[in-house]
Structures are given as C-alpha cells and as structure tokens.
Chains A and B, each alone.
Chain A
Amino acid sequence: MKHRAYEGMFLLDNNAATADYEAAARVVDHILEKNGATIVRKEKWDERKLSYEIRGHRRATYYLVYFTAPTGALAEINSDTRLSEGVVRHLVLGLDGPIEEHVALQVKERELMAEDNRKNALATGWGEPRRGEGGRGRREGGDDMPDVIEDEIEA
C-alpha cells in the first residue's frame, strides 16, 4: 500500500506526562507502530495551559510526531488514539511533499524560536531597543515626504 507523510499533534494527559514523559509518549508511538507507521521525528513540543477545559484537563503536554504510514491506516490510528486514555486530544494532518522537508523546516523553526527568545531576553535586559528602532523608522519616512513636495513646488 502507498505510504504518505503525516504530522500528528497529540495532547498527552499532563498528570501522566509529568510523572513519566517517556511512558506517556510511548502510548502514542505504540499506536502508530501497531498500524504500520514509521516515526521520522518526535519531540515534546510544549507543556502548556489549555485555552479551555477538555474533559476536566486544564493543562496538557503537546507531543509532535512526524511519521509515514500506509494511506489506509489513518482511520485506525485515529480510532485507537481516541480510545486511549493517555491522549486528551489529537490532530493528524497529511503533508504534501517529502517528509524530510517538513522535518527540516520544523527543526529550523525551533532554532529560530530559540534565537528569538534569546534576543527578547537580551532586549528586555538592555532597556528599550525596540522603541528606538521604531522611532528611527518613522523619522526616515517623515524625511522622504517633504523632499518630494519641495521639488514639486520648485518645478
């Protein structure tokens, strides 16, 4: 059967995930592998507060998995995940193009995010670099306007 690339986001029960993250993640890995999927990349995306309560859960651990699976296996994966108690909610999306591209993109995004966090931490430490930059930008725009108008008057 033809294989296709997928991206799956699984919201793990936070009580189980904080106690033993590996075991909680293994529940998902097991479901995927049981249905013939090959995991290419898995990561703990975040541990955060949910925007709304889901079946009594206020927090969850977001587990992101990139995998390839036979095209017919998705229905089984979805139903198995829905029945498992360790997963609060999940979303599996099909990816277009080779999975390596998507994985590389995700890795790059994580690096950029880490860089942004580092910069923001530095910026807040140094006072107000952002406001200063904004001010320069506005002044540049302001200088351009009269230039044109003056020339027009002379002409």
Chain B
Amino acid sequence: MPPSMSRTRNAKNAKNLKKLLKKTAERGKCRFTRARVTGIDYKDVATLQKMVSAQGKLYGRKRTGTLSHFQRKLKLAIKRARYLALLPYVAR
C-alpha cells in the first residue's frame, strides 16, 4: 500500500473513531447532563419516579450514571417530594 493512501485511511479511521467515541461518550453521560438541566425540581414527579426503586429507595449513582452534582440535587428533590406526599417514603 502506498504511504499516501495509508495516511488518508488513518485520517479517516481517526475521524470515524472520534465520531464513535463522541457518540458512546454522549450515551454514557448522566441523563441530566444530556438534557442540559440547571436544576431538579421536586414537582417533576415523573423524572423523580425513574430514579427510585419500586420500594421508593433512591438508586445509586453507579446504577444510573448520574453525576455527583446532580445526584445531590436529586436527593434533595426526592426528600422534598416525599415530604409533600408526592413520593412514598416506603412503598409496600
């Protein structure tokens, strides 16, 4: 293979790889980062419900991939929602 061709192929590979990495990185990001939210509201019950188990316990960061910044906001939002009986403390 002529060296010039190999160079173009490498460049193409690098471009493709970059694209792929970007895509997978985007997919792996936390859902709040992807949605570009600034805060998590206790009134957004549909979102909060996705982040707790059937028992009503908050899922860990390792399971949901949430960034620590948003996990802390989420914790507060869930506690507020629980106080206002929007979410259960314990679901039976």
**What residues make up the interface of A, taking CB atoms closer than 8 Å to B?**
9, 11, 45, 48, 50-52, 54, 60, 62, 64, 89, 91, 93, 109, 141, 144-145, 147-148, 151-152, 154-155
Contacts and interface: CB of A to CB of B under 8 A. Distances in A.
11 contacts: A11-B85, A48-B86, A51-B86, A51-B91, A54-B85, A109-B41, A144-B19, A151-B13, A155-B9, A155-B10, A155-B13
B9 A154 contact: yes
A11 B33 CA distance: 32
A151 B12 contact: yes
A152 B15 CA distance: 12
B72 interface: no
Contact of A148 (B17, B80, B82, B84): B17
Given A51-B91, A145-B20, 12 more contacts: A9-B84, A51-B85, A51-B89, A89-B83, A91-B84, A141-B23, A144-B16, A144-B19, A148-B16, A151-B12, A151-B13, A155-B10
Nearest to A54: B85
Interface residues of B, number: 22
A143 B88 CA distance: 43
Interface string B1-26: 00000100110110011011001000
Nearest to A51: B88
Interface of A is mostly: strand
Contact of A89 (B19, B20, B84, B89): B84
Nearest to B17: A148
Report which residue of B80, B84, B88 has the largest number of chain A beta carbons within 10 angstroms of its beta carbon: B84
A151 B87 contact: no
B13 A148 contact: yes
B43 interface: yes
Contacts of B84: 9, 11, 62, 89, 91
Given A45-B43, A151-B16, A152-B13, A144 B85 contact: no
A155 B16 contact: no
Contacts of B85: 11, 50-52, 54, 60, 89
B87 A51 contact: yes
Contacts of A155: 6, 9-10, 13
Nearest to B16: A148
A151 B1 CA distance: 14
Contacts of A60: 85
